[in-house]
A and B are shown apart, each in its own frame.
Chain A
């Protein structure tokens, strides 16, 4: 039992480290975010420049085959890249849906010509993709979606509404699941496409979030035309294609970002409580110990998964526990941090670098991350069904044509 790289891993780590140190700036403080407080336009232009640099140097999309602009790296090499890159201030946050979810689906279902056309610009960060899955009436129960697709000749016509679409407002393309047959059973009448977000009839409206930001949107489709050649998978097979995408989403969702044990510990060491340092307080120590055990447990769970990758094995869906534990921990730590700062904890600071801001953003961010990419409750279903083998819940919609299933709107 050790934390050491194999010879090949060490060689790869050195190669990564050398390139990063020549091309990126080390973070001053390991915990600080990449570029706190920067506006979206500036962040996007910075991220595009960085993505192009990665692409030109052969470091884009490590897990993709090289003919589509990737590097053909092993999973463990991707982990090593992630570990080394986390030491640097690296712009990002715009390409993950494309490179992590849309790309792999195109690789499985698109024609060779389409792959050559769309994958390299995706890898280079020139074209940004979004994911048009959730609907107002279909979130956790995604297969209950209603956006309608009708085929006439070689062209599909799309009508309906999507929601929670991250980055739709700056995306060039999107992956889209629709209902092509409402008389078929729920999971059997879906069809999957990709489309140009500039198509006539696509309207993007930002959603203002509880944090005040607007990262995601509602997307309305009014008689939007999609050529049949942009269908991915067979007609009626959209659920299968969507599952491939969601599997990749779960791999892409990681730790909740924000203040963790170390920040809470530092805060308690630097603030007074009941006339003494907060760290001397028994209830503070009790909470800190719990958070340390959770952080440490997640860290070493990750190490166990990396060890499995290193041996060439596939890590199990244990990754599902990461988001549940870190999202809830973040919510508690954020609340604790503001509580320690007493009444001043809720005052919005002038600078985004201020300590208050980190806890305030965590307070809102945690509420979102417990929902995004699979709610805590859906993840518990996944753990109990896919890891522990417990039976599925009894369902009221099984074996019934979709248009006869009771829904909120009926």
Chain B
């Protein structure tokens, strides 16, 4: 049995961690949160130079043609360091949508530029405070004209193009929209996590190009979300582990009643519970990574399992990290809130916990029927 990343992949992970530390990624996340910029351009350029945006893009489209396991270890480190870049939107969602659904022409047009970071993409799916479904989508595609409004689009005011879900008649479709095109109006939206930018996008007869002309758009989107869920889960895992380590270090150094608070069982057991949540999430993420990298039939189950487990771990660790820090954890100055915010952002980005739990049980119902 070899249920572990290879030594090369572990080396890549180690390099990624050191690189993001040397880039002071967490500090940059705070700068974006406090400042006017929508993302950290210098960090984004460095990420591109590292070749990370090209990881899974096939070599024929100027990518590195590496596997998903490499992308998983990078994702974990980006999550650990709260990297304030549009990486998840552009790589896990837009790039992956093009790799799996794009026509040869679309791939030729987009992938080489995504690989070099010349363009940034995102997914525009949410329309209201109700969870999206085929029935409640209101964006409409007529011919090649798109009308409607998407909200809470992560990196919507950074991206050059978006993969947009819409209705064409009664069926759902996905389409590509150049966000600088006529009829597209982008409005930045403030969110709980300003270290990642969000926007609402209004389409008024905007020109759109169907993505995946011969597939059911809703099913195709679910497949894209399944694949992305594994990568989002690795980011959440990295964030969760960072919070556990912060809590541990603070508890070791903080004295009360004449002793480090880390010697009180109330604190020790809290941190042990964080460890349990992180280990379960890590093992489930490995299951997701295996399914993603081998395109296994178990992928829908594995993706939902890793997503649910990692969302839970990050939630547990980010809130209990604040609790362990006491009053200091509630201050703007300490970094605890940066993780608390990012945890909520990542949990919201591709569908809520209830949605993914339902997907998990649905995939197991299908598996049991076969």
Cα distance A115–B304 in the bound complex, in angstroms: 52
Cα distance A2–B271 in the bound complex, in angstroms: 31
Inter-chain contact A292/B305, CB cutoff 8 Å:
yes
B287 interface hit (Cβ, 8 Å): yes
Which of A4, A269, A299, A392 sits near B1, CB closer than 8 Å? Answer: A4
B248 interface hit (Cβ, 8 Å): yes
Inter-chain contact B305/A293, CB cutoff 8 Å:
yes
Inter-chain contact A297/B2, CB cutoff 8 Å:
no
Inter-chain contact A321/B279, CB cutoff 8 Å:
yes
A394 interface hit (Cβ, 8 Å): yes
B198 interface hit (Cβ, 8 Å): no
What are the interface flags for A1-30 relative to B under an 8 Å C-beta threshold, 1 for contact and 0 otherwise? 111110001000000000000000000000
Inter-chain contact A307/B280, CB cutoff 8 Å:
no
Inter-chain contact B269/A380, CB cutoff 8 Å:
yes
Inter-chain contact A393/B265, CB cutoff 8 Å:
yes
B182 interface hit (Cβ, 8 Å): no
What are the interface flags for A374-401 relative to B under an 8 Å C-beta threshold, 1 for contact and 0 otherwise? 0001011101110110111110000000
What are the interface flags for B355-370 relative to A under an 8 Å C-beta threshold, 1 for contact and 0 otherwise? 0111011001100100
- Chain A residues contacting B356 (CB-CB under 8 Å) are 289
Inter-chain contact B2/A1, CB cutoff 8 Å:
yes
A123 interface hit (Cβ, 8 Å): no
Q: A321-B279, A384-B272 are in contact. Are A303 and B1 (CB under 8 A)?
A: yes
Inter-chain contact B1/A391, CB cutoff 8 Å:
no
Cα distance A390–B360 in the bound complex, in angstroms: 36
Residues 331-354 (chain B) with a chain A CB within 8 angstroms? 354
- Chain B residues contacting A9 (CB-CB under 8 Å) are 1
- Which bucket holds chain A's interface residue count? 35 or more
- Chain B residues contacting A3 (CB-CB under 8 Å) are 1-3, 290
Which of A310, A377, A391 sits near B2, CB closer than 8 Å? Answer: A310
**Shortest distance from the beta carbon of B259 to any chain A beta carbon, whole Å:** 6
Inter-chain contact B281/A288, CB cutoff 8 Å:
no
Inter-chain contact B6/A1, CB cutoff 8 Å:
yes
Cα distance A1–B368 in the bound complex, in angstroms: 26
Inter-chain contact B364/A265, CB cutoff 8 Å:
yes
Cα distance A385–B1 in the bound complex, in angstroms: 30
Inter-chain contact B268/A380, CB cutoff 8 Å:
yes
Which of B251, B283, B312, B368 sits near A304, CB closer than 8 Å? Answer: B283
**Shortest distance from the beta carbon of B183 to any chain A beta carbon, whole Å:** 40
**Shortest distance from the beta carbon of B349 to any chain A beta carbon, whole Å:** 19
Grouping DSSP codes into helix (H, G, I), strand (E, B) and loop, the A interface class, with mixed when no group exceeds half, is helix
Inter-chain contact B263/A297, CB cutoff 8 Å:
no
A163 interface hit (Cβ, 8 Å): no
**Shortest distance from the beta carbon of A11 to any chain B beta carbon, whole Å:** 15
Inter-chain contact B360/A303, CB cutoff 8 Å:
no
Which of B252, B263, B289, B365 sits near A1, CB closer than 8 Å? Answer: B289
Inter-chain contact B268/A384, CB cutoff 8 Å:
yes
- Chain A residues contacting B264 (CB-CB under 8 Å) are 393
Which residue of the partner chain A has the closest CB to B356?
Answer: A289
**Shortest distance from the beta carbon of A270 to any chain B beta carbon, whole Å:** 12
A141 interface hit (Cβ, 8 Å): no
Q: A380-B268, A381-B268 are in contact. Are A390 and B251 (CB under 8 A)?
A: yes
Q: A3-B3, A303-B3, A304-B286 are in contact. Are A391 and B357 (CB under 8 A)?
A: no
Inter-chain contact B252/A296, CB cutoff 8 Å:
no
Which of B6, B260, B279, B360 sits near A297, CB closer than 8 Å? Answer: B279
Which residue of the partner chain B has the closest CB to A308?
Answer: B4
Residues 79-125 (chain A) with a chain B CB within 8 angstroms? none
- Chain B residues contacting A276 (CB-CB under 8 Å) are none
Inter-chain contact B1/A5, CB cutoff 8 Å:
yes
Inter-chain contact B368/A265, CB cutoff 8 Å:
yes
Inter-chain contact A380/B273, CB cutoff 8 Å:
yes
B154 interface hit (Cβ, 8 Å): no
Cα distance A303–B69 in the bound complex, in angstroms: 17
Which residue of the partner chain B has the closest CB to A294?
Answer: B280
Q: A293-B309, A381-B268 are in contact. Are A300 and B286 (CB under 8 A)?
A: yes
Which of B265, B280, B286 sits near A293, CB closer than 8 Å? Answer: B280
B276 interface hit (Cβ, 8 Å): yes
Cα distance A311–B283 in the bound complex, in angstroms: 18
- Chain A residues contacting B308 (CB-CB under 8 Å) are 289-290, 293
Cα distance A282–B352 in the bound complex, in angstroms: 14
Inter-chain contact A390/B276, CB cutoff 8 Å:
no
B19 interface hit (Cβ, 8 Å): no
B44 interface hit (Cβ, 8 Å): no
Cα distance A195–B36 in the bound complex, in angstroms: 77
- Chain B residues contacting A288 (CB-CB under 8 Å) are 361
**Shortest distance from the beta carbon of B228 to any chain A beta carbon, whole Å:** 18
A208 interface hit (Cβ, 8 Å): no
Inter-chain contact A1/B262, CB cutoff 8 Å:
no
Inter-chain contact A307/B262, CB cutoff 8 Å:
no
Q: A388-B272, A390-B262 are in contact. Are A307 and B4 (CB under 8 A)?
A: yes
Inter-chain contact A292/B360, CB cutoff 8 Å:
yes
Known interface pairs A3-B1, A296-B309, A307-B3; 12 further A-B residue pairs with C-beta atoms within 8 A, sorted by A's residue number = A292-B360, A293-B280, A293-B305, A297-B281, A297-B284, A300-B284, A306-B1, A307-B2, A380-B273, A388-B271, A390-B252, A390-B271
Q: Residues of B with Cβ closer than 8 Å to A?
A: 1-6, 69, 248, 251-252, 259-260, 262-265, 268-269, 271-273, 275-276, 279-281, 283-284, 286-287, 289-290, 293, 304-305, 308-309, 312, 354, 356-358, 360-361, 364-365, 368
The 10 sampled A-B contact pairs (Cβ below 8 Å) are A2-B3, A289-B304, A290-B308, A293-B360, A294-B280, A296-B283, A300-B284, A307-B3, A308-B4, A380-B269
Closest 9 CB pairs of A and B: A297-B280, A300-B283, A289-B357, A384-B268, A380-B272, A303-B3, A383-B272, A301-B283, A391-B263
